[in-house]
Amino acid sequence: MKNDTAFQMSASNIRFGQGITCEIGLDLVELGAKRTLLIMDPALSASVVEETVLSSLKSAHIDFQIFRKISIEPTDSSFQKAAAFASEGGFDSIVAVGGGSTIDTAKAANLYSTYPAEFLKYVNAPIGEGSPVPGPLKPLIAIPTTAGTGSETTGVAIFDFVQKKAKTGIAHRYLKPTLGIVDSDNTITQPPMVAASTGLDVLSHALESYTALPFDNRPKPASPLERPAYQGANPISDIWALRALQIVSRFLVRAVTDISDAEARGQMLLASTMAGIGFGNAGVHLPHGMSYPVAGRASEFVMRDYPPEKGLIPHGVSVILNTPAVVRFTASADPGRHLRAAQALGAKVTNIDLGESGEALAQRVIYFIKTLGLPRGLAAVGFTESDIPALVKGTLPQHRVTKLSPIPASKTVLTRLFQESMHIW
Ligand SMILES: NC(=O)c1ccc[n+]([C@@H]2O[C@H](COP(=O)([O-])OP(=O)(O)OC[C@H]3O[C@@H](n4cnc5c(N)ncnc54)[C@H](O)[C@@H]3O)[C@@H](O)[C@H]2O)c1
């Protein structure tokens, strides 16, 4: 089979600036909206962002109804509840205000209320049927309140498939929000551990898209429409990813330790959007693929600043704990690239041999995990060696992302990577 010779940069429509959330009402008018479904993170009830959004909708005479019953780290059933609500209200548009959990819920609600189907129809194969979204959806405006997932830029909605004990998703360019309103006023209430976990997600998106399998090492599709959204590392995504890493290096620790640091908060939100545009076209690979069963099998672990009701390993934590082991493994695919990533993250690389690039990058990632006070490995979030076969089994079907590893990871390799990730230091 021939390799691909092309990549496609699919742009995201983003407005970035402090204090712009109040423009939402006029944006909806412009889109011809009359009745909007407002999907809100329940933690933002009675917050300044909620007040700003509601008053803007009222001034623009947009009729709306609020849905707050989202799940943090959404599940198949929480997606379906939101879809049922969206199907019944006669809505012509959707606004999502919250972190990735809220924005992803809004994408799923938009999809299933526009093109009703059995839930697994659009879910990524081989877990679901992987059918493409049949056509354009209702306008969706996303207002992120974490600096984070970059979900406002991507055509992806991730959920925990409870029965399979693993996360998976729905991915199609029609899921991409019509507009992302990215406003650093909206992250000021992020608690420190939310800022830390979501900030490490930004780091992971940028690092994984930069070190992913190059686009021209992937098989050529039969038609342009079959070219996947996640195409592998490519010269345009590289620019977004490297810049995001540099910003994370300068501002992540500041943004977590002092949430009133407006410059650091604004820069982390910018990095989150930039990394989102990068990985939305290049993709992520093993740390994300391995995170899905980790998050899906969270039992009793509760992270400070996150809802205590259910065992929950925050997304950014479940990804970053696998990262040091993965970059040691993938470095030989392109040592120079791994060293440049370490440098962008602030490591001093002048005396480092290319053969040491994986270790240099792993150490730089560990520096951030330690400095931000996150758990020191999978054992610290409740896993033991006996869980490893199930974690490997849950990673193997995550083809959408695992196929983008620059070196294919066999069952034996994944077992070793999970073993190494149990105790990072
Ligand atoms: N669609 C994508 O492209 C994409 C990419 C990465 C991750 N994800 C998914 O996104 C989800 C994680 O999203 P997230 O990391 O943004 O966090 P989140 O949406 O899960 O929110 C984390 C916590 O922070 C709270 N919160 C959010 N904003 C707040 C604010 N401004 N003030 C106070 N509290 C606030 C929430 O109530 C919650 O308790 C996961 O399900 C993950 O798999 C999606």
Q: What's the rounded mean pLDDT across residues 389-408?
A: 94
**82's tokens:** 């939101």
**For a substitution probing ligand 1, which of 47, 72, 123, 400 has the most ligand atoms within 8 Å of its CB?**
72
Atom of ligand 1 lying closest to residue 305 CA: 39
d(CA 101, CA 104): 5
Q: Is the pLDDT of residue 400 over 90?
A: no
Q: What is the pLDDT, as a whole number, of residue 296? A: 82
Nearest CA, atom 41, ligand 1: 73
pLDDT tens digits, one per residue of 322-350: 999 999 999 999 999 999 999 999 999 99
pLDDT tens digits, one per residue of 13-31: 999 999 999 999 999 999 9
**Residue found by looking up tokens 């409870």 in the block:** 162
Q: What is the pLDDT, as a whole number, of residue 317? A: 97
Q: What's the rounded mean pLDDT across residues 175-204?
A: 97
Q: What is the DSSP string of 3-66?
A: BP---------EEE-TT-GGGHHHHHHHTT-SEEEEEE-GGGTTSHHHHHHHHHHHHTT-EEEE
The closest alpha carbon to 18, from 185, 264, 190, belongs to: 185
pLDDT tens digits, one per residue of 245-254: 999 999 999 9
The closest alpha carbon to 384, from 324, 310, 294, 290, belongs to: 294
Atom of ligand 1 lying closest to residue 99 CA: 19
d(CA 241, CA 233): 10
pLDDT band at 382 (very low <50, low <70, confident <90, very high): very high
Q: What is the pLDDT, as a whole number, of residue 320? A: 98
Atom of ligand 1 lying closest to residue 198 CA: 15
d(CA 255, CA 259): 5
Q: What is the pLDDT, as a whole number, of residue 273? A: 96
pLDDT tens digits, one per residue of 204-232: 999 999 999 999 999 999 988 788 888 99
Q: Is the pLDDT of residue 126 over 90?
A: no
Measured in angstroms, how far is the CA atom of residue 142 from the centroid of ligand 1?
Answer: 13
pLDDT tens digits, one per residue of 27-64: 999 999 999 999 999 999 999 999 999 999 999 999 99
Measured in angstroms, how far is the CA atom of residue 98 from the centroid of ligand 1?
Answer: 7
Q: What's the rounded mean pLDDT across residues 416-425?
A: 98
Atom of ligand 1 lying closest to residue 43 CA: 37
Q: Residue 143: CB partners within 8 Å, gap ≥ 6?
A: 21, 24, 49, 53, 95, 96, 97, 98, 152, 180, 181, 182, 183, 186
Lowest-pLDDT choice from 171-180, 228-237, 300-309: 300-309
The response to whether residue 187 sits with its C-beta less than 6 Å from ligand 1 reads: yes
Asked whether 208 and 288 are in contact (CB, 8 A), the reply is yes
The response to whether residue 176 sits with its C-beta less than 6 Å from ligand 1 reads: no
> Does residue 167 sit in helix, strand or coil?
strand
The response to whether residue 100 sits with its C-beta less than 6 Å from ligand 1 reads: yes
Q: What is the pLDDT, as a whole number, of residue 318? A: 96
pLDDT tens digits, one per residue of 272-325: 999 999 999 999 999 999 999 999 887 789 899 998 877 889 999 999 999 999
Work out the mean pLDDT of the chain and round it to a whole number: 95
Atom of ligand 1 lying closest to residue 276 CA: 3
Q: Is the pLDDT of residue 255 over 90?
A: yes
Q: What is the pLDDT, as a whole number, of residue 374? A: 96
Atom of ligand 1 lying closest to residue 72 CA: 20
Measured in angstroms, how far is the CA atom of residue 272 from the centroid of ligand 1?
Answer: 12
Kind and range of the H or E element at 417?
helix 411-422
pLDDT band at 137 (very low <50, low <70, confident <90, very high): very high
pTM of the full structure: 0.96
Q: Is the pLDDT of residue 420 over 90?
A: yes
The response to whether residue 82 sits with its C-beta less than 6 Å from ligand 1 reads: no
The response to whether residue 168 sits with its C-beta less than 6 Å from ligand 1 reads: no
